[in-house]
Amino acid sequence: MEHLDNAKVLVTGGTGSLGHAVVRRLLSGEMGWPSQITVFSRDETKQHYMRLEFARRPTATDDIVFDEHQERPRLRFVIGDVRNYESLAQSIPGQDVIIHAAAMKQVPTCEYFPGEAVATNVIGTQNLARAVQHYGATVQVVVGISTDKACKPVNVLGMTKAIMERVLVQANLGGTATRFVSVRYGNVLASRGSVVPLLQSQISQGGPVTITTKDMTRFLLNLDQAVDVVFQAIRSARHGELYVPQVPSARIIDIAHAMIGGRSIPVIYTGIRPGEKTHEILISDEECLRTGVRDGYYVIHPMLPELNQNGTDPSVPLARAYSSQDVSLSENDLARMLRPVTLKEPRLDILA
């Protein structure tokens, strides 16, 4: 699917950081001009402000039609919850592409409320797959948004996202024409709840800057790179495949030092939070044997033999797990990478 001209696109969790970025990029026309984009989420306040932002109007409307640029797609907002099968199923008919970004994604929150994380990340995904199978005759591709925490998970977020990946793999069985695929990536710079906005806020207040451990590392990419992975999966991912970007990693303490610069701001270590890893993994040792490269991305082929037509790739690109422990960014590299983010004032509003 090379372009989205005249397609109808549904974005679950469309008011989140990634969903917001996806909508912005879809409205740019780089993937063609969809006929309609539907933002599906449960937060009416976020929808209200997102509606106003994209309409550039002082008052809200139910739908947005870009009067000055009629070639742009119609942007719709629908209140609903992926936990509620009926509300989700009503938005499926007529859609061509679904980007499934609805999730609980905060590690500590998921640890304290594991049942809620299961309800959203697992049951919500199962509801989506079932609704598409029953009402999505026109749906060509569903892209699920996963995380590095799903690889050898030690926390509830990772466990639920790992099951989400498998639910989407299984949804391809039974001869469906719809491609159910996933993307998996690491820490998105400036996304809501990520480390950079937290550090930026702490620095702006003069500190202290809180770091969990000196050795902790994370993969880093910006929101546009995250959207790039999603768009590439729409274009070329096959049934059950999982796309992983080739991205750098860094120590969190180095990120903090790069953001602090020469300022006299204290750093304190607080210890690992519930459910956290010191290092993240994007591709495990076991997955390496099912991993190839396509269009500059790692592609993990599905485990189920009915879907894995490629079998074991003879030209395995990775000899061992793809881990953030293999730090590739220096403080100078980080300073350059973070400059576009740190030049902005830390935003605490819902569209940060």
Q: Which of 105, 149, 161, 277 is catalytic?
A: 149
3-state helix/strand/coil string of 256-325: HHHHHCCCCCCEEECCCCCCCCCCCEEECHHHHCCEEEECCEEEECCCCCCCCCCCCCCCCCCCCCEECC
The token pair at 246 is: 């080739």
φ, ψ of residue 212 to 5 degrees: the values are -70, -60
Tokens 């960014």 label which residue? 329
Q: Which residues contact 48 (CB under 8 A, 6 or more apart)?
A: 60
C-alpha torsion sign, points 38, 147, 219, 245: negative
149 an active-site residue?
yes
The separation between CA 189 and the C-alpha centre of its own chain, rounded to angstroms, equals 12
Task: Report the distance separating Cα 38 and Cα 9, nearest Å.
Answer: 6
Cis peptide before 302 (omega within 30 of 0): no
Residues identified as active-site: 149
